[in-house]
Amino acid sequence: MIVVVQFFLFVLGLYLLAKFANRYLFKESREKSILQNSGISREQWDEAFQQLPLLRGLSNEEIQSLEELCILFMHNKTFEGAQGFQVTPHVMLIISLQACLPILRLGLSCYDNFSTIIIYPEGFVTNRQKMDDNGIVDHDRTHTLGESWLRGPVILSWHDSKQSGVEDGSNLVIHEFAHKLDMQNGVANGFPPLHKNMNSSDWVREFSKAYDYFINHCKGDQLHGFDCYGASDPAEFFSVFSEMFFEKPGKVRKHFPEVHNLLELYYRQTPISRLKG
């Protein structure tokens, strides 16, 4: 009996060792191979970067990191076209560059909670509630432009995704992927998992204060350039402020300095140092 148990433990040890090696020891060589065989030309990268002014000011090291993140992101995720939409390498690059900008200092594992990105040619019709019991968060201004599903796909309108990234404060792609960051610890509620050097009490206090101010003063379409859609609920507030943080960080710092500081700590980036707005 003892021999059987010892044999079982030996086999179990080998299995765990192989799993560990595959996950951690071989990860680097596997990713290196993916990066070397991306098939994306310099011209394709340059064309995509030119279409996205919000990437201006990134250092060469940051550009390289962002490109590597994008390649791995495109390798790991499935891109599906809806309503006959053709997903081209350019489409994947435009979406991936914007999706990966927020996780430039956070890492790709933040997006482990989904595998598929569905792209419609333009806005699409949905009859869902804004946030239902299944944790579906809609992004519905005049019609639905994008959605993030808890443990499900990100859904985007290409028409609006390609018009994002122009530093006007509105960015559909960052908005929907900010919901995914928010969903790392459950239903989107404006409270993503924080880093060890962050204080959850500070986050709750400052975001609650800013949110209360926002819902009391944001009565039309915008307040100080912020989309009043952020007054819908704390999850939308976090996503709208994430859009502004990467598109118009100067406005976030001017009108909501404490929230700006917390977003800098969370995203581990300082877009204000590279953008004018």
Query: How far is 131 from 51, CA to CA, in rounded Å?
Result: 32
Which residue in 77, 139, 162, 180 binds Zn ion (CB under 5 A)? 139
CA atoms within 13 A on the CB side of 36: 6
134 versus 199: smaller Cβ distance to Zn ion: 134
Query: Using an 8 Å Cβ cutoff, are 183 and 152 in contact?
Result: no
Closest distance to Zn ion from the beta carbon of 137 (Å): 5
Closest distance to Zn ion from the beta carbon of 242 (Å): 10
71 versus 173: smaller Cβ distance to Zn ion: 173
Binding-residue total with Zn ion (CB under 5 A): 3
Query: Using an 8 Å Cβ cutoff, are 64 and 104 in contact?
Result: no
Token pair 């300082």 in the structure block, residue:
270
Give residue number: closest CB to Zn ion: 139
- Strands 116-120 and 137-140 come out as unpaired
User: What residue type is assigned to position 81 of the chain?
Assistant: G
Contact stretch for Zn ion (CB under 5 A) within 59-67, 166-174, 220-228, 234-242: 234-242
Q: Residue 258 is encoded by which pair of tokens?
A: 């404490």
96 versus 171: smaller Cβ distance to Zn ion: 171
48 versus 228: smaller Cβ distance to Zn ion: 228
Cα separation values, 92 from 31, 96, 102, 124, Å: 19, 6, 16, 19
251 binds Zn ion (CB under 5 A): no
Contacts of 250 (CB under 8 A, 6+ apart): 272, 275, 276, 277
Query: How far is 245 from 81, CA to CA, in rounded Å?
Result: 29
One symbol per residue from 53 to 92: x for binding Zn ion (CB under 5 A), - otherwise; what is it? ----------------------------------------
Closest CA to 246 of 52, 90, 113: 52
49 versus 207: smaller Cβ distance to Zn ion: 207
Footprint of Zn ion on 103-132 (CB under 5 A): none
Contact stretch for Zn ion (CB under 5 A) within 59-67, 72-80, 239-247, 254-262: 239-247
User: What residue type is assigned to position 228 of the chain?
Assistant: C
Closest distance to Zn ion from the beta carbon of 144 (Å): 10
Query: How far is 100 from 154, CA to CA, in rounded Å?
Result: 14
Closest distance to Zn ion from the beta carbon of 178 (Å): 8
Q: How many residues does the chain have?
A: 277
Footprint of Zn ion on 158-187 (CB under 5 A): none
Closest distance to Zn ion from the beta carbon of 82 (Å): 19
Contact stretch for Zn ion (CB under 5 A) within 1-9, 110-118, 189-197, 238-246: 238-246
139 versus 260: smaller Cβ distance to Zn ion: 139
49 versus 135: smaller Cβ distance to Zn ion: 135
- Strands 78-81 and 144-148 come out as unpaired
Q: Which residues of the shown chain bind Zn ion in the complex (CB under 5 A)?
A: 139, 236, 239
